[in-house]
């Protein structure tokens, strides 16, 4: 997917995948067409910019979107959607 947002190009084909999250767990794997299913992928462009690509179902069908985020926004996304090990793999060890 490629989008131009505020005069900048965001491409899932050329950016590096940093992290991935979906709301399917082991018990719901057979329900992946569920109306509440979504997946989010955090990407980093060659320029160092981050963006999130979200794909998911809603009442009117499948929705796909790209949202540019700052590094701080990417870290906040990681806190919400990743476990501690994955977060620290990406951003470094966090003190207790």
Asked whether residue 9 is domain-assigned, the answer is yes
Helices (H), 1-96: 71-81, 84-91
Asked whether residue 23 is domain-assigned, the answer is yes
| 66 contacts 14 by C-beta, under 8 angstroms | no
Q: Which residue has the higher pLDDT, 35 or 68?
A: 68
Between strands 50-58 and 38-44, the pairing is antiparallel
Asked whether residue 96 is domain-assigned, the answer is no
- The pTM is what? 0.82
Q: What share of the chain is helix, strand, coil (3-state, %, to 5)?
A: 25, 40, 35
User: Is 28 a residue whose pLDDT tops 50?
Assistant: no
Instruction: Render pLDDT for 3-23 as a digit per residue (tens, 0 to 9).
Output: 999 999 999 999 999 999 987
Domains in the chain: how many in total? 1
User: Is 36 a residue whose pLDDT tops 80?
Assistant: no
Query: What's the domain range around 37?
Result: 2-91
Q: Which residue has the higher pLDDT, 22 or 47?
A: 47
pLDDT of 37 reads: 74
Sheet with 16-22, edge to edge strand ranges:
16-22, 38-44, 50-58, 61-69
């Amino acid at each position: 997917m490629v989008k131009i947002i505020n005069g900048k190009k965001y491409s899932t084909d050329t950016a590096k995948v940093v992290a991935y999250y979906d709301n399917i767990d082991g018990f719901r794997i057979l329900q992946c067409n569920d109306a509440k299913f979504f997946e989010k992928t955090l990407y980093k462009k060659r320029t160092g910019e981050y963006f999130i690509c979200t794909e998911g179902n809603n009442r009117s069908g499948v929705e796909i979107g790209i949202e540019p985020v700052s590094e701080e926004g990417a870290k906040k996304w990681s806190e919400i959607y990743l476990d501690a090990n994955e977060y620290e793999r990406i951003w470094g060890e966090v003190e207790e």
